[in-house]
């Protein structure tokens, strides 16, 4: 029997005749009998083609921080749509949205919009290379920064035993089709390991344009930096003349209005934003210190995009940030997310399953192991098999976490205390079923 109902399965078959594997992004395909087709979303819920309702902790891999179809965002976008969407010229809405982004994020002195996180990291990397005259980018094992060639190395699907030693990590292509020559421009290091970073920069620092870091590993349980770690990266970047880039595609506007800087008190040179900034509309940005952003102003460094700053995305971002700036969504998520995290860990303890709560109330990671993970390599101590089976049991019971056993669950301001209680019951029932 498939994971979803008959109508959903038949819509998948129909989709499969026109879309490769029935999807528009490879991560969405879970197999011919387990790929969902969604009819609509409302608040904290999504509905499949059978009309079955799920409490949604996938939230499109994180963007939908206010809940699906939020009225203020929908109204702003509808109004903009009636007035023309794409001019490939600067618009009033784009300027208004940029002012709100700048006001929210302390380290943004100047910025430009893009459409996706992938574009944002691509442009941030090119900008960093142009600003420093160097080519190498350092990224962290287990971090995902989008689907372009320069960052698809040692991402969270990597096999740990293939990553090489900590002192000399091997950057592993996460996809066929990435030229071998690109690998020479990428170094990978374990997160939360300043010694490894120091060693790399001591030997190779003069080639490094930027350290590209997710301040919390949003694709790996929402893992947080150890105290002093981001400060250490800041210091090392300064000592070696490279830029520090925070990829805030997941943390931005999610963990706090001011993103990781507000949470951890460390400022990068550049940041990339997307996801929660537009509550699910395709809007992204690169922003940072004026001196670095001015490299674009000087010309000769290409940043472009027909749809960048389009009216719909700008309207969505402005409306989303207005709601987030009231602080109410963050207060709600703090409460429900903490209750979820505590509840998951407690239920595991009740049933003798070793578990660690990881992440943040807005990004809840449950690591099924004896000790908290410090970096991606610790994934070998996580019971992925049990976690994956429990997630399938939750989906059958109407609760939708991200299926990937290494991803956190995302919270929105629309989740209620009752949703959390229902979720914990579904989790416990699924766990008990799997434990036999
Ligand atoms: C941290 C991070 N950076 C970049 C991206 C790429 O964003 P997009 O899927 O919008 O291209 C993602 C996507 O999940 C992400 O999590």
Ligand 1 neighbours by CB, cut-off 6 Å: 61, 116-118, 121, 144-146, 214, 218-219, 247, 249-250, 274
From atom 2 of ligand 1, which residue's Cα is the shortest distance away?
145
* Active-site residue, 247 included: yes
Spacing, Cα 120 to ligand 1 middle (Å): 9
**Residues 124-149: pLDDT tens digits?**
999 999 999 999 999 999 999 999 99
Q: Which atom of ligand 1 is nearest to the CA of 274?
A: 10
Instruction: Report the alpha-carbon distance of residue 253 to residue 278 in Å, rounded.
Output: 9
Spacing, Cα 272 to ligand 1 middle (Å): 9
**Residues 240-269: pLDDT tens digits?**
999 999 999 999 999 999 999 999 999 999
Spacing, Cα 157 to ligand 1 middle (Å): 15
Provide the b/e sequence for 110-120 (b: ≥16 CB within 10 Å): bbbbbbbbbbb
Question: Ligand 1 test: best mutation among 65, 118, 217, most atoms within 8 Å of CB?
Answer: 118
CA atoms within 13 A on the CB side of 350: 12
**Residues 171-192: pLDDT tens digits?**
999 999 999 999 999 999 999 9
> Which DSSP letter does residue 171 get?
P
**Residues 317-341: pLDDT tens digits?**
999 999 999 999 999 999 999 999 9
Exactly one of 247, 269, 403, 419 is catalytic; which is it?
247
Spacing, Cα 413 to ligand 1 middle (Å): 21
Exactly one of 144, 150, 307, 330 is catalytic; which is it?
144
Spacing, Cα 219 to ligand 1 middle (Å): 9
Q: How far is CA 19 from the centre of its chain?
A: 25
Q: What is the pLDDT of residue 403?
A: 87
CATH topology of domain 71-324: 3.40.640
Spacing, Cα 249 to ligand 1 middle (Å): 6
Q: How far is CA 126 from the centre of its chain?
A: 21
**Residues 208-248: pLDDT tens digits?**
999 999 999 999 999 999 999 999 999 999 999 999 999 99
Instruction: Report the alpha-carbon distance of residue 51 to residue 163 in Å, rounded.
Output: 44
CATH no. for 37-69+327-435: 3.90.1150.10
Q: What residue ranges do the domains of the chain occupy?
A: 37-69+327-435, 71-324
Residue 240 CB contacts under 8 Å (≥ 6 apart), including other chains: 201, 205, 206, 208
Please report how the helices 92-104 and 311-324 are oriented relative to each other, as an axis angle in degrees rounded to 10.
30
Rounded to the nearest integer, the mean pLDDT of the chain is 97
From atom 4 of ligand 1, which residue's Cα is the shortest distance away?
145
Q: What is the pLDDT of residue 405?
A: 87
Question: Ligand 1 test: best mutation among 260, 275, 283, most atoms within 8 Å of CB?
Answer: 275
Question: Ligand 1 test: best mutation among 139, 151, 174, 250, most atoms within 8 Å of CB?
Answer: 250
Exactly one of 139, 275, 375, 419 is catalytic; which is it?
275
Average pLDDT over residues 70-95: 97
Does residue 308 register a pLDDT over 90?
Answer: yes
Q: What is the pLDDT of residue 229?
A: 98
DSSP E strand boundaries for 141-298: 186-189, 208-213, 243-247, 270-273, 284-288
Query: How are strands ordered across the β-sheet holding 399-400?
Result: 38-42, 45-48, 53-56, 399-400
Residue 193 CB contacts under 8 Å (≥ 6 apart), including other chains: 166, 374, 375
Strand pairing report for 243-247 and 270-273: parallel
ipTM value for the complex:
0.99
Q: Judge whether 243 and 211 are in contact, CB under 8 Å.
A: yes
**Residues 92-110: pLDDT tens digits?**
999 999 999 999 999 999 9
Q: Which atom of ligand 1 is nearest to the CA of 251?
A: 1
């Amino acid at each position: 029997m498939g994971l979803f109902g008959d109508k959903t399965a038949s819509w998948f078959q129909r989709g499969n005749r026109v879309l490769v594997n029935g999807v528009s992004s490879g991560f969405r395909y879970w197999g011919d009998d387990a790929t969902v087709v969604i009819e609509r979303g409302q608040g904290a819920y999504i509905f499949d083609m059978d009309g079955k309702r799920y409490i949604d902790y996938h939230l499109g891999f994180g963007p939908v921080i206010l809940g699906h179809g939020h009225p203020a965002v929908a109204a702003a976008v509808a109004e903009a749509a009636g007035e023309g969407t794409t001019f490939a010229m600067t618009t009033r809405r784009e300027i208004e949205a940029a002012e709100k982004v700048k006001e929210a994020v302390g380290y943004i002195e100047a910025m430009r919009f893009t459409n996706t996180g992938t574009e944002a990291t691509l442009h941030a990397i090119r900008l960093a290379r142009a600003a420093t005259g160097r080519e190498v980018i350092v990224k962290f094992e287990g971090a995902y920064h989008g689907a372009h060639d320069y960052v698809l190395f040692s991402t969270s699907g990597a096999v740990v035993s293939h990553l090489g030693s900590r002192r000399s990590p091997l950057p592993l292509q996460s996809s066929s089709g990435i030229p071998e020559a690109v690998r020479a421009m990428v170094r990978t290091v374990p997160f939360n390991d300043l010694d490894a970073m120091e060693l790399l920069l001591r030997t190779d620092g003069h080639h490094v344009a930027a350290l590209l870091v997710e301040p919390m590993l949003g694709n790996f349980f929402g893992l947080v930096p150890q105290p002093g770690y981001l400060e250490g990266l800041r210091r090392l970047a300064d000592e070696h003349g490279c830029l520090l880039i925070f990829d805030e595609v997941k943390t931005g506007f999610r963990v706090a209005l001011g993103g990781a800087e507000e949470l951890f008190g460390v400022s990068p040179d550049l940041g990339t934003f997307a996801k929660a900034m537009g509550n699910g509309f395709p809007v992204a940005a690169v922003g940072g210190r004026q001196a670095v952003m001015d490299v674009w102003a000087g010309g000769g460094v290409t940043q472009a995009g027909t749809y960048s700053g389009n009216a719909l995305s700008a309207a969505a971002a402005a409306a989303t940030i207005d709601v987030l700036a009231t602080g109410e969504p963050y207060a709600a998520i703090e409460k429900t997310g903490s209750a979820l995290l505590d509840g998951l860990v407690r239920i595991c303890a009740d049933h003798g399953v070793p578990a660690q709560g990881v992440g943040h109330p807005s990004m809840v990671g449950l690591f099924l192991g004896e000790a908290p993970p410090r970096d991606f390599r610790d994934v070998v101590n996580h019971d992925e098999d049990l976690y994956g089976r429990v997630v399938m049991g939750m989906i059958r019971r109407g609760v939708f976490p991200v299926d990937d056993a290494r991803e956190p669950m995302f919270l929105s301001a629309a989740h209620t205390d009752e949703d959390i209680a229902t979720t914990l019951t579904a989790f416990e029932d699924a766990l008990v079923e799997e434990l036999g």
